[in-house]
Structure 1
């Protein structure tokens, strides 16, 4: 079953693909910063009925004109079936796109991270045909954000840190730094990464801490003015939706009456009826449709 923490551990790379390179540069692997990123289809199924999907797939374009594929998998526990799937993903993607492939596995506990690091081999011990060596991010190598200022400089990396250290006894301090950093960013960004953090923490105790921080430290998002504006926006949206629904229903009723009465509806007439966004006009057409001898009569008088 796909859990909320599983979703957050790969969705964060969709929100900010550059966090991949920034994280690994701190670990001594100098992946170039992408200058352009495209979200790729995650369905790797071929003609056979077995469905295969990678969690997130990104095409990363770099400044020197090269490109590579980044496949991100979130792994909650060791699974002996996974290495074979990962080998399939890498081979299939390389064959399909003719690009280098990197498999990134994100974990929230050290035991799973150690297992996921492999290497995994396909073939007999005397002659391994394939060797799979995923890159792994987890509590063992994702840096702990040391201060709110550091978190504010890289919100996505701070979010990844909070999620991967979700089981750490000191997670409360990590979450406090992230919450403080979110105060300094815009509301939309803060809302996105606050939600990803809560999803990523899942059922860990840190999730309760995070919800408390959101209720207190980020209460400026819930000010009386901002809540009133959002409520007004929701009410306006509901009213617009209701009126649009009434107009659409009225248009359908007008055309249905003309059809039931056996009146031909030329394309220009039909297009004018369907294009109307005036509820009073549609209601007038409805009344005329009951007695009109020709569809064009709908637009009289004042047609």
Structure 2
């Protein structure tokens, strides 16, 4: 099930698409220069496999009407099952949008990052039909930004650094540098980024460290935009969790689902309706009966 920490590792890119270029520059990978970056609908219904959805998907709009899709996945542990999902996302996006697709994976520990960074072949041994080879960001290649001046120049990158190093010894210094940087920018933006940081740190010791910084700061998460952001993240995460639960229950009961069912299910964000459908998923004999 998605957690606040999981959401933070990819939502920072969804909410701040300009971060893509800086993040890739940090690991010496050149991205195409976009004329515009479009965040694709967060439901991403067309890019969903039957049992789960991609985390964040953006489209780089390039010169001469060229496009490039970047799929960003947050991964908190090793999961061979996830490789199948990644293969689906890449293949479907490539077929639908007829453009290059890059899979980007963000991690908060080196073990998971090392696993994700491997080439994941699908097919006969030695003769794979498809190889999933993501670009991976983790504590082993994301710089720990601890210098306050550098943090001020790269606030979003410093936030991302904190998320990737959330379990690292350097996280305290990173958060201190980020706190310094937020005092150097306008109050409204600082409040919003402070809120995003708290959410993205999840249920970790680093979150408690960050809260102590915020308690001593001029902003205390009271802004309207900050509260709206918290509500949006909670609603997004809750809907995602219930959707996955419905599909898992049906799968466990051996009840087949098709793309039409999947499309209808994923277009719903009403939590009360989703909870009702989850209760029905335990008793129905066909997937479509859920909607009756």
TM-score over 0.5 (shorter chain): yes
Instruction: Map Cα deviations across residues 138-157 of structure 1 (whole Å, 9 max, x no partner).
Output: 10111111311111112111
* Gap regions ≥5 residues in structure 2: 225-292
Q: 1:7 to 1:95 in 2, by over 3 A?
A: same
Give the equivalent residue in structure 2 for 1:201: 201
The answer to whether the 8 A contact 2:165-2:171 is kept is: yes
Q: 1:46 to 1:20 in 2, by over 3 A?
A: closer
Give the equivalent residue in structure 2 for 1:180: 180
Structure 1 position 34, deviation (Å): 3.0
Q: Which has the larger radius of gyration?
A: 1
Give the equivalent residue in structure 2 for 1:14: 14
The answer to whether the 8 A contact 1:198-1:207 is kept is: yes
Q: 1:49 to 1:164 in 2, by over 3 A?
A: closer
Give the equivalent residue in structure 2 for 1:298: none
Instruction: Map Cα deviations across residues 95-145 of structure 1 (whole Å, 9 max, x no partner).
Output: 011111111110000000001112001101142100110011110111111
1:34 aligns with 2:53: no
Whole-angstrom distance in 2 between the partners of 1:93 and 1:150: 36
SS of the residue 1:106 aligns to:
strand
Instruction: Map Cα deviations across residues 152-185 of structure 1 (whole Å, 9 max, x no partner).
Output: 1121111000111110112111100000100011
Aligned 1:24-173 pairs, distance under 5 A: 24-43=24-43, 50-62=50-62, 66-173=66-173
How many residues are paired up?
A: 224
The answer to whether the 8 A contact 1:45-1:52 is kept is: no
C-alpha RMSD of the superposition:
2.4
Structure 1 position 35, deviation (Å): 3.1
* Gap regions ≥5 residues in structure 1: 231-303
**Scaled by the length of structure 1, what TM-score is found?**
0.69
Q: 1:90 to 1:49 in 2, by over 3 A?
A: closer
Q: Which has the higher contact order (CA 8 A, sep 6+)?
A: 2
Q: 1:25 to 1:63 in 2, by over 3 A?
A: farther
The answer to whether the 8 A contact 1:166-1:206 is kept is: yes
Q: 1:25 to 1:89 in 2, by over 3 A?
A: same
Give the equivalent residue in structure 2 for 1:211: 211
Whole-angstrom distance in 2 between the partners of 1:16 and 1:102: 18
Q: 1:159 to 1:48 in 2, by over 3 A?
A: closer
**More divergent stretch after superposition (171-180 vs 13-22):** 13-22
Q: 1:78 to 1:187 in 2, by over 3 A?
A: same
Structure 1 position 73, deviation (Å): 0.6
Q: 1:8 to 1:141 in 2, by over 3 A?
A: same
Whole-angstrom distance in 1 between the partners of 2:213 and 2:204: 15
Instruction: Map Cα deviations across residues 226-274 of structure 1 (whole Å, 9 max, x no partner).
Output: x8x98xxxxxxxxxxxxxxxxxxxxxxxxxxxxxxxxxxxxxxxxxxxx
**More divergent stretch after superposition (86-95 vs 124-133):** 124-133
1:190 aligns with 2:193: no
Whole-angstrom distance in 1 between the partners of 2:88 and 2:100: 14
